[in-house]
Chain A
Amino acid sequence: MAEAPRETWITGIGIVSCLGEGADTHWQRLNRPPPTPESDAFAPYVVHRLAPIELDKQIPKKGDQRQMEPWQRIGTYAAGLALDSAGAKGNAELLARMDMIVAAGGGERDETVDATILTDLRKAQNKGTFLNERLMSDLRPTLFLAQLSNLLAGNISIVHGVTGMSRTFMGEESAGVDAVRIALARIQAGQSDISLVGGSFNAERKDVLLLFEAGGHALKAPFAPVFERAGRGGMAIGSLGAFLVLESRDSATARNAKPLARLSSVQSDRVRRQPGAVTESLTKMWSAIAPQVAPGQVAVISGASGSQPATADEHAWLSTIPDLPVRATGTYVGHGVEPQFVMNIALASVALGHEKLFAPASGSEAAMNGPLTQVVVTGVGHWRGEGMALVEAAR
């Protein structure tokens, strides 16, 4: 690119988690001590359950709600909050050219159907025939549409009318990092003017716990803050939805939209996780961002998952940089995998709006008293994928 990258603003955020919904609620709750997640339903696993939301406020048609499984409802709801926040809701002209990148996993399985089939499959004479019969009769025909990764984007198009481009990235934490990276790069290069980017995660599922537990990544009770799980690391997964509206400064100015923050840089990486690899990756991404960082008014919002050794490696690396207060928001909202990075960029915008960092969650986080003008957001995946962003106060 010969031309300078176009300045890109965050003009809308939509967030929902176990803390509740919206910027104000999250700001208030992040300044109080972290709640201990209720985890009876998934014992012994620690799961941050979504705070109750009134779906009708963002998904007015019951028919649409019925067509979705929880992960899609959470995401469609959060996307609606972001569009409201950006003043874009219902603006048909703007929505028709709004691009969308969603970071998604897979949808919920019907756990009852799975369990019943597994029970009976053991005694089936002909397993293949039996599986066919039961799947044909037990699967709801529309369940597939609630499972397809790209159908969160599809539902956002249907419910909110976002119809520019529509792409869905998969790949756990890195899907969220790359969704934001590509959306930003497209705007900076003039390939897009405005983009909705984000994702959602429903943690209240034993099928997803199964995947993470198989890999040794699920946190069992008792709960502890993210950086204080030494020796028994693990993710306390959390239901959450997070969307951003990213917009070129020109586009925002033309429609009198105000910036919540400026998104200046997003880096992503992929390293084989051998000893020292996470440190090396963070160092490399930091070297791309550091020249833009002014010491003293910057903090880190970490997407550390709690899983080891990645979390310990990241924590150790962060502590090598002087005067850099760190907040691991997973302590509050849990680990939401795909949308975690987006959530943390949103929370960075909220803190920058207040011109200060929220309170430490625990003794492992240092207080920050001075003004806040920049936030570095990290996203080190539980198994693969590394990311880093620079979010700045918009002048």
Chain B
Amino acid sequence: MASASRKPVAVTGSGVITSLGIGKAENWKKLIAGQSGIHAIRRFSTDGLKTTIAGTVDFVPVEPFCSADLGERMADIVVEEAIAESGIGAKGDFPGPLFLAVAPVEIEWPHREMVAAAAGANGAVSYDDLLRAASGGKFRGIHERCVMLSVGDHLAERFGTKGSPISLSTACASGASAIQLGVEAIRRGETDVALCVATDGSINAEALIRFSLLSALSTANDPPESAAKPFSKNRDGFVMAEGAGALVLESLEHAKARGAKILGVIEGCGEMADSFHRTRSSPDGKPIIACIRKAIADAGLTPDDIDYINPHGTGTPENDKMESLGVMAVFGERAASVPMSSNKSMIGHTLSAAGAVEAIFTLMTLEHQRLPPTINYQVPDPTIPLDVVPNTARDATVRHAISNSFGFGGQNVSLVMAREPA
């Protein structure tokens, strides 16, 4: 079997945006206060929709709205925060590669309507009309905006990352996968530094409707801030949200040599794909269990060493049930005494960004030795006899923490983090 370096990797800078606000300080203050960023959607009409709430990021202006534009703009902001904190490189010259978790980019309805208008068809509009109108170079901007690599390419250009930027998707585990790719590249010795970014600004009518048609979303629209209820008996789905996170990863040697402040370390990564179903977990929970165990083993630890779990915790009946089963299987009798709180109760599910956003919040939990709560926890689920840090933040001793991310398509990734290198 392969034997590779399992060295911990330092985090020397990070930046975050959620519906709670811009920047780590603002987000942490509100998380600890148990504040929700979920609100009624104002960006587009919600007439006729079952779900009318979300954690949209409305304070980053993008006019006219385009999901890829918002994703890119948020990525810019969090990368600036992360690079400034790490103090690495020079402006426009980041000394390492970019790993970007990004919602799949696609042509959006406003683009399509614009081309259709240019086609000027009198009767029914067809794709042949759109193609005719698109011919001749008037819509080159749509190509540059809507190719999959567009966000990554623009970030690489702006921040001067090195080599080919990797844009990736592992659905709702994407942010964690981006960090994992960075950790692996540093462990291979390919680079001393990596920029891991995750961004998702994809809340438009079609995106919301897609999840709604899969019955994945909470429909508890009123009041919006109470809709996300992870681990509660009355949980009824996740709440879509937007956000972005960026982390500067560095080999410990490199960070120490330049005297950088080490915010925390990624100690281990675990991953296990699930072959059971496109949207549901294997009923025996084996892939989730194996994923968590692999991450802990990769960190050179045992489950007894883990003091806090930042769960995927979406608030869907299925996820929370399977994740709890997995946690109980891995931690055994200790499970009920390992606190586990879901950031998504406050920020919603930031989808492609979630793994990175929540890794940053896990690092802040380690830094502050204070656990953000799971809010909206009013009706305990007797099948989930765990300490979800209900409704109120509290202090705790946290040496090692694990963050889980699970996604459609059987994607499971767990990251183990610590305050200081062992």
Known: A131-B205, A175-B148, A190-B4. A168 touches B169 (CB 8 A): yes
Is there contact, CB below 8 Å, between B48 and A190?
no
Point out the residue from A116, A155, A210 that lies within 8 Å of B278, measured CB to CB. A155
Q: How far is the CB of A346 from chain B (nearest CB, A)?
A: 21
Residues of B close to A115: CB separation below 8 A: 124-127
Q: Which of B389-422 contact A (CB under 8 A)?
A: 407-411
Q: A1-B189, A157-B275 are in contact. Are A144 and B210 (CB under 8 A)?
A: yes
| CB-contact partner of A178 in B109, B153, B164, under 8 A | B164
Establish whether residues A128 and B44, one from each chain, have CB atoms under 8 Å apart when the complex forms: yes
Given A185-B190, A206-B128, check contact A164 B273 (CB 8 Å): yes
- Report the contact-size class of chain A (Cβ under 8 Å from the partner): 35 or more
B196 to chain A, nearest CB (A): 13
How far is B148's CA from A384's CA once the two chains are assembled, in angstroms? 11
Which residue of the partner chain, among A157, A182, A190, A214, contacts B181 with CB atoms under 8 Å?
A182
Interface residues in B, total, Cβ within 8 A: 85
Q: Which of A161, A164, A182 has most B Cβ within 10 Å?
A: A182
Beta-carbon nearest neighbor of A174 in chain B: B164
- Whether B166 is near chain A, meaning CB under 8 Å from some CB there, is yes
- Give the contact stretch, choosing among A74-82, A236-244, A267-275: A267-275
Q: Check A305 for interface membership: any CB of B closer than 8 A.
A: no
Binding stretch for chain A, among B19-27, B136-144, B328-336: B136-144
Docked pose: A217 CA to B136 CA in angstroms: 10
**Interface pair A171/B276, CB less than 8 Å apart:** no
A147 to B209 Cα, complex, angstroms: 14
Q: Does B1 reach chain A (CB closer than 8 Å)?
A: yes
A119 vs B211: C-alpha distance in the bound complex, in angstroms? 25
Q: A168-B168, A210-B107 are in contact. Are A128 and B410 (CB under 8 A)?
A: no
28 contacts between A and B (CB under 8 A): A104-B169, A118-B116, A119-B123, A133-B48, A141-B213, A142-B214, A144-B210, A149-B104, A149-B169, A150-B171, A157-B274, A158-B276, A162-B273, A162-B275, A164-B272, A168-B169, A169-B168, A170-B102, A170-B104, A174-B164, A178-B166, A182-B181, A186-B184, A186-B188, A191-B2, A210-B130, A210-B131, A270-B164
Closest 4 CB pairs of A and B: A215-B143, A128-B45, A154-B409, A171-B149
Q: Which chain A residues have a beta carbon within 8 Å of chain B's beta carbons?
A: 1, 45, 67, 100, 104-106, 111, 114-116, 118-119, 121-122, 126, 128-129, 131-133, 135-136, 139, 141-145, 147-151, 153-155, 157-158, 161-172, 174-175, 177-178, 181-182, 185-187, 189-193, 206-207, 209-217, 248, 268-270, 272, 383-387
